[in-house]
Amino acid sequence: ISCQYFLAVQKLVVLELGMVLLPVANHGEASQLMIQLVREQSKDHKSNPFLCKQCSRLAEPSVVLVQQIQGVGKTKALLLLQQFGSIHRLCNVSVKELELVVGQTAAQQIYTF
């Protein structure tokens, strides 16, 4: 993935899908990692930490993630998710759009985060 798209992909994979993003040095290392994941998955489906967690689509984990932003509590997190629909969309809104929902100070903190 080029640098141009890496941040957007990272946000989608980690925040929206609830998966772990692992950087690899080259194609060989990536293929070895995939082989290891397939072997691990075939042993015990629940033990593979790289699989997509189905519960990540629910509102509660999203609220917890948004609350990690300084100055955002549960109420503001719920309000933001209700207004913008998803963490992915929240990551791509302007400061002005955020200001309409949470005010100028919180909007700037969220945008910076």
* Of 20-24, 63-67, 96-100, highest mean pLDDT: 96-100
Q: Give the residue carrying structure tokens 């302007």.
A: 94
Element of type H or E holding 29: helix 27-43
- 74-84 and 95-102 helices cross at what angle (nearest 10)? 130
| Fold held by 54-112 | DNA polymerase; domain 1 (1.10.150)
Q: What is the pLDDT of residue 43?
A: 60
Alpha helices in 44-73 (DSSP H): 59-66
Domain limits, the chain: 3-47, 54-112
| 50 backbone dihedrals φ, ψ, rounded to 5° | -95, -5
State pTM to two decimals: 0.45
47-51, 52-56, 67-71, 87-91: segment of lowest average pLDDT: 52-56
CA distances from 32 to 9, 39, 49, 56 (A): 22, 11, 16, 27
C-alpha 42: how far from its chain's center?
Answer: 26
